[in-house]
Structure 1
């Protein structure tokens, strides 16, 4: 049975808020002054996702994970978490390819789970990217300090904030084009570093073949916090799992970009299927190379400052005696953080826009310019970016900002859990209404079982992410707060909204699978004319 037979007038009479109260309005149903524009091409969407998931965490975070867990645990942990991310993208892809609506998974939560979950996820997600923006800006200024410390850090922050603001001011098409080239630099850099790492491991530079030497000495596993035996190895695995989960946060960005993508029913499934595999491949290959090049007991892996100096790739290059490449890697990291900052402003502004059109934020925030830029959301995003000046402070302001930034990681995990549980309810509604999944542009190969596994994994990692504070003599109030305050805040927000609005869970028989499913007429795809176009289409 096709979806055209569902959500009849009779059903809508039972639940009159089905289009407005559950899932917001589709962009084309909004006044012209409140509409986004579909200007992102397939290559833009693909690179936005890659750019969101691959950042400094790949170059720096893998080093800390190696030190905490050892080489085998590093590779296994990132691979395992990569599979969960693939499951996430499959679940999200099935929903968003069918309903590429403004607000992405935040609006889908309103339509298929409850307004309270949408409200809580929306504001949490906006907080995540609004605080990540100044974090990336301050990191960019820190990387410049690799070359010179004569210029005040605040001046660099101002320059980078201005660049990011101008990129987003040009509208979604200009942003998409810039992010495409930024992310292309990321991909080229990662491929080059993986190849270089393999060359170094084989001894082509030093004449000393490393192979898997460091898997034997100091060994496959590291003892976390010097805890002896199996307990220390298990804690090391937990630490790597947490690091890996946080490194992948951002891969879900295409859901927010879906409302501005051309031909979403065709292009989004392509982007999701290809990007998830590439991100997994980049991380797994990189962790294998890292585990071969640097021993887990290397002291530089435990540097407290997140600069290029603690990158395992930089350490390997330095150990090989190659001069000048450290500066190149630092330059690449600078481009990574600028790309991330640009994406942060884009996602935070669209998240706030999604909150507005679903009634969870003031309506005036939905106003857009002629090129489809949600102008007030954009301005608020820039204002949040100025918190980077607070991050540059070495006093109490800098410490407070550090707490705010550290809480974003847990928020990302809870957003994933929200996507999984929304998908489970999405499938419940399909089953109750007799919806034919064969009509969907994309079907998740892992289905509800995979979503449940992903949801449970997110909950477990969220609960265990601050496990280190419960170890003997490791109690730290600041760490406990940054790890668990976001969880308490999420529960309180959800409960307060449900109490205030009296809004319960959306009944499966009232779920709307129609509004927004035919967002725009799909343009006919032009077949490739030559082998160059065939290769390009395969890549993008």
Structure 2
């Protein structure tokens, strides 16, 4: 756009990119902090992380996530950018494994529903082409987790730190999973043994009593309609 001497449009694109980056960052801070909060409630993270302020915000969880976000400033330095890329590779592999685990969880959930004679029509939301798309997601994410750092295997590209940060989580996640099961002496359940009704009553009660917050003004109304 600059080479074509197009005015204004490059600034609009920059503004849109910054807005998208802020939106993604806001979403990830929320998801990460609430995940950490949930772990604290279940006793899988320090109990202090379960503390909330008077607005119900898990302030310590949000603080930790925001501190981790400061790693993005490593990009300012060319040398530090390499370290940032290591973290990006580590997080990318973690996310791929995370999505693979979610897809596999749904596959087992559907298997349990079928084994117990429950119809998916009773669910508030059902996706198309299941469980085939779940298998597609599980297979695709699993493969990408392994090939994400493939460049280090090319001739002359071998780099130990890059290899470790690209593939460490592939070994760490199974160790954490089976380590937890061994430590807590939990067992794998057969489809017919899975409790599909745990906490359902609480969720249904919350849904019945939920009162959506009314917009404070016209701007708030349109903002909620666009981003809600």
Which TM-score tier does this pair reach, normalised by the shorter chain? 0.7 to 0.9
- Secondary structure of the 2:208 match is coil
What stretches of structure 1 of length at least 5 have no aligned partner? 1-316, 526-535
Question: What whole-Å deviation, never above 9, does each CA across 1:53-89 have from its counterpart, x for those lacking one?
Answer: xxxxxxxxxxxxxxxxxxxxxxxxxxxxxxxxxxxxx
Are 2:73 and 1:386 aligned? Answer: no
Cα deviation for residue 424 of structure 1 reads: 0.9
Aligned counterparts of 1:486 and 1:350: Cα–Cα separation in 2: 22
Structure-1 residue corresponding to 2:14: 330
For 1:357 and 1:524, the matched residues in 2 are separated by 25
Rounded to whole Å, the distance in 2 between the matches of 1:522 and 1:455 is: 36
- 1:252 matched to which residue of 2? none
Q: Specify the SS of the correspondent of 2:16.
A: helix
TM-score (norm 2): 0.78
The one of 496, 520, 524 aligned to 2:207: 520
Would the alpha carbon gap of residues 327 and 445 (structure 1) be closer, same or farther in structure 2, given more than 3 Å must change? Answer: closer
- Cα gap change, 1:399 to 1:472, in 2 (>3 Å): closer
Structure 2, gaps ≥5 residues long: 213-223
Q: Does 1:491 align with 2:163?
A: no
CA distance in 1, matches of 2:77, 2:4: 36
Alignment-derived partner of residue 270 in structure 1: none
- Give deviations 1:192-242, integer Å, cap 9, x for gaps: xxxxxxxxxxxxxxxxxxxxxxxxxxxxxxxxxxxxxxxxxxxxxxxxxxx
Distance 2:5 2:188 in 1: 61
Cα separation, partners in 2 of 1:375 and 1:478, compared to 1, 3 Å:
same
Q: 1:423 and 2:106 equivalent?
A: yes
| TM superposition shift of 1:492 | 2.3
Q: Is the 8 A contact 2:86 2:166 kept in 1?
A: no
Per-residue deviation at 1:417?
Answer: 0.3
What is the rounded CA distance, in whole Å, between the counterparts of 1:483 and 1:447 in structure 2?
Answer: 31
CA distance in 1, matches of 2:159, 2:211: 59
Q: CA deviation at 1:447?
A: 1.5
SS at match of 2:56: coil
Give the whole-Å Cα distance in 1 for the aligned partners of 2:83 and 2:149: 19
Which of 102, 118, 121 is matched with 1:435 structurally? Answer: 118
1:461 to 132, 144, 153: 144
Question: Corresponding residue for 2:219?
Answer: none
SS in 1 for 2:146: helix
CA 344–468 in structure 1, closer or farther in 2 if over 3 Å, else same: same
Structure 2 residue matching 1:441: 3-state secondary structure? coil
Task: Give per-residue Cα distances to partners, 1:382-402, cap 9 Å, x unaligned.
Answer: 33233345554455x554333
Aligned alpha-carbon RMSD (Å): 3.1
SS in 1 for 2:156: coil
CA contact (8 A) 2:151 2:157 kept: yes
Give the drift of 1:523.
6.1
TM-fit CA distance, 1:515: 0.9
The Cα shift of 1:420 comes to 0.6
Matches of 1:454 and 1:388 in 2, distance apart?
Answer: 29
Aligned residues: 214
1:369 CA displacement: 2.3
Q: Superposed, which structure 2 residues align to 1:464-475 within 5 Å? A: 464-475=147-158
The equivalent of 2:131 in structure 1 is 448
**Is the contact between residue 103 and residue 137 of structure 2 (CA under 8 Å) also seen in structure 1?**
yes
Distance 1:468 1:402, change over 3 A: closer
Please tell me whether the aligned partners of residues 29 and 65 of structure 2 are also in contact (alpha carbons under 8 angstroms): yes
2:56 is aligned with 1:369: no
Q: How does 1:228-377 map to 2 (within 5 A)?
A: 317-377=1-61
Partner of 1:409: 92
Whose RCO is larger (CA < 8 A, sep 6+)?
A: 1
In 2: Cα distance, 1:498 partner to 1:514 partner: 20
* TM score, norm. by length of structure 1: 0.36
Deviation at 1:381, TM superposition (A): 2.0
C-alpha distance in structure 2 between counterparts of 1:411 and 1:393, whole Å: 25
Counterpart secondary structure, 1:386: helix
Q: Following the alignment from structure 1 to structure 2, what is the Cα–Cα distance between the partners of residues 382 and 409?
A: 18
